[in-house]
Amino acid sequence: MMGLKRYHIVVFLFMGSVLLSHPIFAKINRVDSLRVWPSPTSTRVVFDLAAEPEYTYFPLTNPERLVIDFDNTDKKVDFSQFDISGDLIKNIRHSTPKHDDGIRVVIELNRKAKPEIFAMPPTEPYGDRLVIDLIDSRPAAPQVVLDRTQNQRDRDIIVAIDAGHGGEDPGSIGPSGTYEKNITLSISRKLETLINAEPGMRAVMIRTADYYIHPNRRPELAREHKADLLISVHADAFHSPQPRGASVWVLSMRRADNELGRWMENTERHSVLLGGAAEVITDKASERYLTETILGLSMDYSMATSYDVSESILRELKKVTKLHKRAPQAASLAVLTSPDIPSILVEVGFISNPQEEKNLNWAKYRQDLAESLFTAVSHFFRKTPPEGTLWASQRAEQRTHKVRSGESLSLLAQRYNVKVSSIKQANNMTSDMVRIGQVLTIPRI
Ligand SMILES: [Zn+2]
């Protein structure tokens, strides 16, 4: 026993001295792949590495470049084999390294971009990474934003659609390898098409392609676009294959109180949140009280609205899928933290359930899901259109008709020159049946 112990100590000392005196035994890192994710405002470059990177970096101008030195890294990586999409990055190449045991990588840029660099530990399906966000000095032109605060009549109802995850964040991964980020983007695009085909409604996509946006940034984008509603689309996952079905999430009351508190502390945000109201508040002493009251009111409105929309969505979703939870669920999720915009998160199903993963990979099924979301949202806004919208003025002008003997829905639709579906929608009807004496709302379109 003594002998064995001594042997261990000797080996330990020997190994220690070798590691200290011969850097050749230090762990050698390796770049396994390179991914580039362009977005309208920034481009993310991700180096997939065999181990945690040791790195330094510096920018160069004329022409614009970013230089990254990876220490203790194998030289055998050919950057020309990787796809460099987008128009911000011109080329990624090797240069003479600072030390013999490392590599120097040069990212050549077409224009100025501010780098934000950080290492990420392994998370499914990736290993160690070095992430570089290049904030574009000339971002793509934003979608046209109409100012809700200006005196516009008959504006569109704006629905912000947030496709969950994106870029190197795949979200949950199904048993056959389906990425949640692709499912959420596909459903979101289908919903966008339906909304944009509806007069008086307009969709704004928070994420337009395969790139990452921080969860805190998503409600900010919805606010910048003056959204009346934010719908975040996700697919659930569990560590066992059994759970299935859809659920809808709203901001939890407890989180809401904390969020309101947090927003209150961030005084710079007040004017943005309050719109015109902030300018009226000049007295510093009363500012906090007033702000709290106004914000509290808009939060009450947005939370009540979120809950109502959620119920409407659950009613529609259950026609196409099983429900995991029959009532709206309360959660503390970053994407739901807008105090002023009704926000909901829809989990369309469990990607971890093999059957639901199969369904979600079927375009027709995704279309059905998008249609049920659209029907729910349009029903909700037909009943309670936001002030100043086309739908609000249409509602104010609506006519009524008392059904007489021999009249059918199609006859009335013809007489008033509207679609049967519009009459059904305005009256929340599920069948074409009408009864004598029934008073119907006749919409203008
Ligand atoms: Zn998700």
62-111 pLDDT, tens digit each: 999 999 999 999 988 999 999 888 889 999 999 999 888 999 999 999 99
List CB contacts of 268: < 8 A, sequence separation 6 or more. none
Higher-pLDDT residue of 51 and 283 is: 51
Higher-pLDDT residue of 194 and 269 is: 194
Distance 336 CA to ligand 1 centre (A): 13
**175, 204: one domain:** yes
How far apart are the two ends of the chain, measured CA to CA in Å? 92
Q: Residue 323 — pLDDT band, cuts 50, 70, 90?
A: very high
Distance 184 CA to ligand 1 centre (A): 8
Distance 385 CA to ligand 1 centre (A): 29
Question: Which H or E element spans position 32?
Answer: strand 31-38
Residue 26, domain member (yes or no): no
Tokens of 241: 């294959």
Distance 219 CA to ligand 1 centre (A): 15
Distance CA 236, CA 257 (A): 26
> Is the backbone of residue 166 left (phi > 0), alpha (psi -120 to 50) or beta?
left
Distance 233 CA to ligand 1 centre (A): 8
In contact, 384 and 279? CB cutoff 8 Å: no
Question: Which H or E element spans position 313?
Answer: helix 284-317
Higher-pLDDT residue of 194 and 153 is: 194
Distance 262 CA to ligand 1 centre (A): 25
Distance 172 CA to ligand 1 centre (A): 6
Distance 307 CA to ligand 1 centre (A): 20
**376, 405: one domain:** no
Residue with tokens 């977005």: 39
Distance 348 CA to ligand 1 centre (A): 10
Domain count, the chain: 3
Distance 409 CA to ligand 1 centre (A): 42
Q: What is the pLDDT of residue 5?
A: 42
**379, 401: one domain:** no
Q: Which domain holds residue 94?
A: 31-136
Tokens of 441: 């709302």
In contact, 328 and 322? CB cutoff 8 Å: no
Q: pLDDT at residue 332 above 60?
A: yes
Mean pLDDT of 154-163: 95
Distance CA 23, CA 387 (A): 70
Classify the C-alpha dihedral 286-287-291-294 as positive or negative. positive
Distance 73 CA to ligand 1 centre (A): 34
Distance CA 306, CA 7 (A): 69
Q: Residue 398 — pLDDT band, cuts 50, 70, 90?
A: confident
User: 73 has which bridge partners?
Assistant: 29
pLDDT (tens digit per residue) in 178-203: 999 999 999 999 999 999 999 999 99
Q: What is the pLDDT of residue 279?
A: 38
pLDDT (tens digit per residue) in 339-357: 778 888 899 999 999 999 9
**218, 304: one domain:** yes
Distance 346 CA to ligand 1 centre (A): 9
Residue 169, domain member (yes or no): yes
Cα 437 to Cα 347, 389, 402, 415: the distances in Å are 42, 32, 6, 18
Residue 292, domain member (yes or no): yes
Distance 347 CA to ligand 1 centre (A): 8
Q: What is the pLDDT of residue 359?
A: 97
Distance 84 CA to ligand 1 centre (A): 27
Mean pLDDT of 348-375: 96
Distance 36 CA to ligand 1 centre (A): 22
Distance 230 CA to ligand 1 centre (A): 15
pLDDT (tens digit per residue) in 404-444: 888 999 999 988 888 899 899 888 898 898 999 998 988 87
Distance CA 180, CA 125 (A): 12
Mean pLDDT of 34-56: 91
In one-letter notation, the amino acid at residue 8 is H
Q: pLDDT at residue 57 above 90?
A: yes
The bridge status of strand 229-236 relative to strand 343-350 is: parallel
Distance CA 166, CA 214 (A): 10
Q: Residue 139 — pLDDT band, cuts 50, 70, 90?
A: confident
Mean pLDDT of 114-120: 91
Distance CA 166, CA 170 (A): 6
**191, 117: one domain:** no
Distance CA 342, CA 357 (A): 29
**300, 401: one domain:** no
Residue 3, domain member (yes or no): no
Tokens of 282: 């000049």
Distance CA 231, CA 218 (A): 11
Distance 382 CA to ligand 1 centre (A): 29
Higher-pLDDT residue of 241 and 4 is: 241
Q: What is the pLDDT of residue 273?
A: 44
Residue 420's CATH number: 3.10.350.10
